[in-house]
């Protein structure tokens, strides 16, 4: 089994930027992406803030070089996946086995919602074009076709940990010698389905979210996509530019507590972080920065915090939730945050946890409040936990 999996390229689009460079500028300038809902037709406009990508479908379609009438989720995916692949600039890629493992949570739901209004009134109505790509796999297929990838493709959907699991799956495809190169990550656009769904659970903050704050009141939904290009050691040696880092550890564990709520002691989160450390052969004290799942809901942050306290105490690494910038991008979050984790190593940065004011009573630590520069970061842990108890931690390590 091949030893290391290298990160050769990154691509991201989110509410704080349409590409990696723009995202990095926003991260450094502490610019959050939340605002009023402008793209979706919903009664929650002006009531619930969201973190929208600041481009219309027509504008995204131009960037993606795809038709504007397809799902926004596909358009977002195509843009960041292409950016990641271009960034990797792999010589003779046509002679290599290349895979695409993408994640999303609700497929082409943004289009299905339009279809459904007419369909519900009359089952013979509704444009079939709008429902044709409802399946999660359709997003992946359209983007793989666009990128000319056919050696291996699949789609992961484990709610909010989806794209961390896609990266995990992609890395294992390389380790098992199935492919040489894999683009892995995830995508999700804002939909009425998820907005209303999270709203029924009463976990949406009416203000901008405050992850890990004692007075946190919930999450803000976001949208976007994020991908890594993972390559085998052999491909890494032939790269034109140095790979960013390696994916040194990963683990997927299940909380097995409740369909949506996390266990009070964060069992699943603890097992995922502990398992990822074990896989990487690192000690807790080796981790320099944790990119938290940190949604901003009372339950999630409490569970994640408890698990960190148990695993890392009393010497806590620096940590922050970049969902304070991008909102919770669901099936894209693990991908976007993996890109941010890679950028943290490359740029020696630790991003602040925006709007943090008050330490949680139950925790002896708090997230980073201001941008930290010139940090010697060797190992970053990225957490992604989701509905269904699906908990995944990834560890990125400097080379």
Partner 1 sequence: MKVYIRSSACVSPQNTFNSAGFLTDVVESTGTRLKAIEPDYKQFIDPKQIRRMSHVIKMGIAAAKSCLTQADVEMPGAVITGTALGCIADTVTFLTRIVEQEEEMLPPTAFIQSTHNTVAAQIALILKCHNYNNTLVHKGISFESALFDAMMLLNEQEADNILVGGVEEMVDASFTVLTRLGLYKRWPLSNLSLYDTPSNGTIGGEGAAFFLITSEESPDSLAQLTGLKLLYKPKSVEERIIDFLKSNELGIDDIDLVVTGKNGDTKNDEVYKELGSSLFKNKSLANYKHLCGEYATSSSFALWMASNIVKGGVVPEIVKEGKFELASPKKVLIYNHYQGKYHSLMLISAT
- Whose structure tokens read 């990128």? 147
C-alpha pair distances (Å), 105 with each of 331, 333, 388 = 5, 11, 12
CA distance linking residue 327 with residue 317, whole number of Å? 23
293 assigned to active site: yes
Minimum gap (Å) between residue 264 Cβ and partner 1? 15
One residue of 63, 68, 147, 201 binding partner 1 per CB under 8 A: 201
C-alpha pair distances (Å), 331 with each of 79, 219, 228, 389 = 16, 15, 15, 15
For partner 1, the closer CB: 71 or 140 = 140
Strand partners, 13: 225
- 181 is a contact residue toward partner 1 (CB under 8 A): no
One residue of 27, 78, 153, 236 binding partner 1 per CB under 8 A: 153
What string marks each residue from 256 to 295 as x (binds partner 1 by CB under 8 A) or -?
xxxxx------xx--x------------------------
Minimum gap (Å) between residue 262 Cβ and partner 1? 13
CA distance linking residue 381 with residue 393, whole number of Å? 7
In this structure, the number of other CB atoms found within 10 A of the CB of residue 177 comes to 11
One residue of 15, 80, 142, 159 binding partner 1 per CB under 8 A: 159
Token couple for 190 = 């804002």
Pairing type for strands 152-156 and 98-103 reads parallel
Instruction: Please count the helices (runs of H) and the strands (runs of E) in the chain.
Output: 13, 10
Beta-carbon contacts of 195 under 8 Å, excluding residues fewer than 6 positions away, are 40, 42, 44, 48, 50, 204, 221
What string marks each residue from 45 to 84 as x (binds partner 1 by CB under 8 A) or -?
----------------------------------------
For partner 1, the closer CB: 11 or 107 = 107
Coil, strand or helix at 133: coil
Phi-psi region of 385 (alpha: psi -120 to 50; beta: other; left: phi over 0): beta
Minimum gap (Å) between residue 314 Cβ and partner 1? 26
Strand partners, 159: none
CA distance linking residue 313 with residue 309, whole number of Å? 5
Query: Catalytic: which of 160, 209, 245, 391?
Result: 160
209 assigned to active site: no
Query: Catalytic: which of 134, 209, 328, 391?
Result: 328
- 196 is a contact residue toward partner 1 (CB under 8 A): yes
- 34 is a contact residue toward partner 1 (CB under 8 A): no
What string marks each residue from 235 to 254 as x (binds partner 1 by CB under 8 A) or -?
-----------------xxx
CA distance linking residue 15 with residue 216, whole number of Å? 21
Which range in 50-58, 313-321, 354-362, 388-396 contacts partner 1 by CB under 8 A? 388-396
Q: What are phi and psi of 42, to 5 degrees?
A: -145, 155
391 assigned to active site: no
Phi-psi region of 92 (alpha: psi -120 to 50; beta: other; left: phi over 0): left
For partner 1, the closer CB: 169 or 365 = 169
For partner 1, the closer CB: 44 or 398 = 44
C-alpha pair distances (Å), 308 with each of 180, 271, 318, 332, 357 = 35, 11, 12, 23, 20
What string marks each residue from 94 to 133 as x (binds partner 1 by CB under 8 A) or -?
-----------x-x----xx--xx-xx--xx---x--xx-
One residue of 19, 96, 137, 399 binding partner 1 per CB under 8 A: 137
Write out the residues near partner 1 by the rule CB under 8 A.
1, 42-44, 105, 107, 112-113, 116-117, 119-120, 123-124, 128, 131-132, 134-138, 140-141, 144, 150-159, 165, 169, 172-173, 175-176, 178, 192-193, 196-197, 199-201, 252-260, 267-268, 271, 386-390
Question: Active-site residue numbers?
Answer: 160, 293, 328
């Amino acid at each position: 089994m091949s030893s290391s999996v290298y990160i050769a390229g990154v691509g991201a689009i989110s509410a704080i930027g349409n590409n990696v460079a723009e995202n990095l500028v926003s991260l450094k300038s502490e610019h959050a992406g939340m605002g009023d809902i402008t793209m979706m037709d919903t009664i929650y406009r002006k009531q619930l803030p969201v973190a929208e990508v600041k481009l219309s479908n027509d504008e995204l379609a131009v960037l993606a070089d795809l038709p504007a009438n397809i799902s926004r989720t596909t358009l977002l995916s195509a843009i960041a996946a292409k950016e990641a692949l271009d960034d990797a600039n792999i010589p003779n890629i046509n002679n290599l086995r290349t895979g695409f493992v993408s994640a999303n949570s609700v497929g082409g739901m943004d289009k299905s919602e339009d279809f459904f209004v007419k369909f519900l009134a009359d089952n013979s109505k509704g444009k079939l074009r709008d429902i044709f790509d409802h399946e999660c796999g359709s997003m992946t297929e359209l983007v793989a076709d666009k990128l000319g990838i056919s050696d291996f493709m699949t789609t992961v959907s484990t709610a909010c940990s989806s794209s961390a699991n896609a990266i995990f799956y992609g890395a294992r495809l390389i380790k098992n010698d199935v492919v040489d190169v894999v683009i892995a990550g995830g995508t999700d656009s804002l939909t009425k389905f998820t907005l209303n769904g999270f709203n029924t659970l009463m976990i949406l903050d009416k203000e901008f979210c405050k992850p890990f704050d004692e007075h946190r009141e919930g999450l803000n939904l976001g949208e976007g996509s994020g991908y890594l290009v993972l390559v085998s050691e052999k491909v890494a040696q032939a790269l034109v530019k140095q790979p960013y880092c390696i994916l040194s550890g990963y683990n997927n564990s299940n909380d097995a507590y409740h369909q949506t709520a996390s266990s009070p002691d964060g069992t699943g989160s603890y097992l995922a972080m502990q398992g990822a450390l074990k896989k990487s052969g690192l000690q807790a004290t080796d981790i320099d920065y944790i990119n938290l799942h940190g949604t901003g809901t009372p339950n999630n942050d409490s569970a994640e915090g408890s698990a960190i306290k148990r695993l890392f105490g009393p010497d806590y690494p620096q940590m922050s939730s970049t969902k304070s910038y991008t909102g919770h991008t669901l099936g894209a979050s693990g991908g976007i945050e993996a890109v941010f984790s890679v950028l943290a190593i490359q740029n020696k940065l630790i991003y602040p946890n925006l709007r943090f004011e008050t330490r949680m009573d139950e925790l002896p630590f708090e997230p980073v409040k201001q941008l930290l520069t010139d940090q010697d970061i060797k190992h970053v842990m990225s957490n992604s936990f989701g509905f269904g108890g699906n908990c995944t931690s990834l560890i990125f390590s400097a080379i």
